[in-house]
Amino acid sequence: MPIQARWYNDERTIILYQMSGQLTLDDFTNMMQLGYDMREQVEHIVHGIIDVTQATGRLPKGLIAHYPQLAQMPHPRVGMSIYVHPSRMAHTFTDIYSRLFGTVYVAPSIDDALTMIARYQARYTS
């Protein structure tokens, strides 16, 4: 399965998505639905870390055209969304999405993504 999603911590404040293999447009839609379903289980903000470091090949053809469909699937308890990938191309695609539909971040590692979330929480929950 190209997408796996699990709670990263016992508090269930972070979902870790791990995407591997050649990704399709349906994989991105399925990822959004998994996150929506998991957020329905809790009553607080939940951040998402999307690890695409094990994905292979190119991004799916038509991904940018698919962005509006993805943007219509937000959950009211969504927090930060952080893609983990060291490539500059990941930054380009998330920049485009962020300008059109809402902020998405990129981090070079899961540890860096966790640091970003900690800074966000320190800023907005204190």
Count how many domains the chain has.
Answer: 1
pLDDT digits (tens, 9 = 90+) for 32-67: 889 999 999 999 999 999 998 888 877 777 776 766
Residue 5 in tokens? 């999603």
Q: Which residues of 49-79 are buried (b: 16+ CB within 10 A; e: fewer)?
A: bbbbbebeeebeeebeeebeebeeeebebbb
Whether pLDDT at 116 is above 70: yes
Q: Among residues of the chain, what percentage have pLDDT more than 70?
A: 79
Closest CA to 73 of 41, 22, 37: 37
Distance, in Å, from the CA atom of 93 to the CA atom of 40, rounded to the nearest integer, reads 28
DSSP state, residue 62: T
Q: Among residues of the chain, what percentage have pLDDT more than 90?
A: 37
Global confidence as pTM? 0.82
Whether pLDDT at 99 is above 80: no
pLDDT for the residue 32? 86
Q: Which helix or strand (DSSP H or E) is residue 116 part of? A: helix 110-124
Q: Can you give the residue range of the structural domain that contains 40?
A: 3-124
pLDDT for the residue 6? 96
* Mean pLDDT of the residues in the chain: 83
Distance, in Å, from the CA atom of 76 to the CA atom of 25, rounded to the nearest integer, reads 23
More confident residue, 1 or 123: 123
Alpha helices in 23-83 (DSSP H): 25-39, 63-71
CATH of the domain at 64: 3.30.750.24
